[in-house]
Amino acid sequence: MKITILGGAGFLGQKIAATLMADPRVETLTLFDLAQPRPPATPTAATCQIVTLAGDIAALPDAAIPEGTDLIFHLAAVVSAAAEADYELGRRVNLRGTDAVIDAARRLSKPPRLVFTSSVASFSGGQTALLPDDARQLPANSYGTQKAAAELMLADATRRGFLDAVTIRLPTIIIRPGRPNKAASSFVSSILREPLLGLPTELPVPDDFAVWVASPRTAVKWLLHAAFMPSAWLGADRGINPPGLSVTVAQMLAALEAVRPGARQLVTRKHDKAIADIVGGWPASFTAERARKHGFAPHETLQELVEAFIADDLEVTRRERLQG
């Protein structure tokens, strides 16, 4: 099996690659990103060939998705606040990049499975929303609009037989390793990650603000399940709302305090209207009935999520931050 991960330098791409490297079914694993990805560190010896490439996804080189590719993870994106701030960049990566991926799939002799990471930002509804699986996507920001448009492009490419797309509309992923990024939701990780590192951080929304979240561990399970499951049951609707966790900021800080007493004192309230306006329109909960019915893993508890970050990513993040 030949597999490509677009966005292979990102933390989800690296975690998926680390799992696939030891899978005996995988012959070649290609990691592509704007900067050349490093093969992920893993205690298990790789059983496949690793290829790493750098480039512009909107001008995707043929080597990123070579002939014989069976599976593509399309994780590459310009995230929410960055796409809002730089409209042209968001369109180039999130729309033209997806179009380039479709063109690459069309050149293959056999249609590949393609797993695409969309986002809850492709919906509106706000704090009181509990969205069913057939909820209409009405994004209130450029990032969500670009993700929803890319979903339609991939669904049409599936209908045409160019590829077999499965779209996972990821919740806000917490706790992200590394540094804060340009996502509007970056603070949701920061209010847990920074105090665990002993660092101060700011909270731009009220304590009763609710958000639909998922851990990296569970997100990887969902993406791998999407990669290898039968897809005929999806029909024309290729989008899946996975079974995340609806939590408030207060509940997150309580889980942090339960795991690391005193850590929540490093969180300072400082309202940021621009951030609040973007994330405030995102729905806080989904029913996720299709996903539960078709084998997508249920989410762990919030405290288990914090403990998983400590076990999986805290020391790696600490070393990265110390290196500057």
Q: Which of 113, 284, 123, 275 is nearest to 186 (CA)?
A: 275
Q: Do 141 and 247 meet the contact criterion of CB atoms below 8 Å apart? A: no
**CA atoms of 20 and 43, how far apart (whole Å):** 13
CB burial of residue 39 (10 Å; 0-12, 13-18, 19+): middle
Task: Find tokens 């019915």 and name the residue.
Answer: 293
Q: Please, what sign has the CA dihedral across residues 260, 265, 269, 270? A: negative
Task: Find tokens 């079974």 and name the residue.
Answer: 243
DSSP 234-272: GTT--EE----EEEEHHHHHHHHHHHSTTGGGGEEE---
The catalytic site residues sit at 143
Neighbours of 270 (CB within 10 A): 10
Q: Please, what sign has the CA dihedral across residues 315, 318, 322, 324? A: positive
**CA atoms of 262 and 266, how far apart (whole Å):** 8
Q: What are phi and psi of 301, to 5 degrees?
A: -70, 165
Q: Do 17 and 40 meet the contact criterion of CB atoms below 8 Å apart? A: yes
